[in-house]
Amino acid sequence: MIAQDTTENKSNSNKTLLAITLELSIRLITLKVFSGMVSCTVRISSLRAGQAPL
């Protein structure tokens, strides 16, 4: 019974670790997409204003 509890706890901690990793990956992807959009917007604004793009 103790061995089974240990296995169950290990499984739960693996699931928790997987969930945290997945959440961090999603946040990183969102951040990259958002920063790319901002960068693109800044370039377009610079071009419209007749300035050299960054």
Confidence of residue 1 (pLDDT cuts 50, 70, 90): very low
Give 1 or 47, the one with higher predicted confidence: 47
Distance CA 37, CA 39 (A): 5
Range of the domain at 17: 1-54
Distance CA 51, CA 20 (A): 43
**Domains contained in the chain, number:** 1
Give 1 or 49, the one with higher predicted confidence: 49
Predicted pLDDT of residue 32: 92
In this model, does residue 39 exceed pLDDT 70?
yes
Residue-wise pLDDT tens digits, 5-28? 667 777 888 889 999 999 999 999
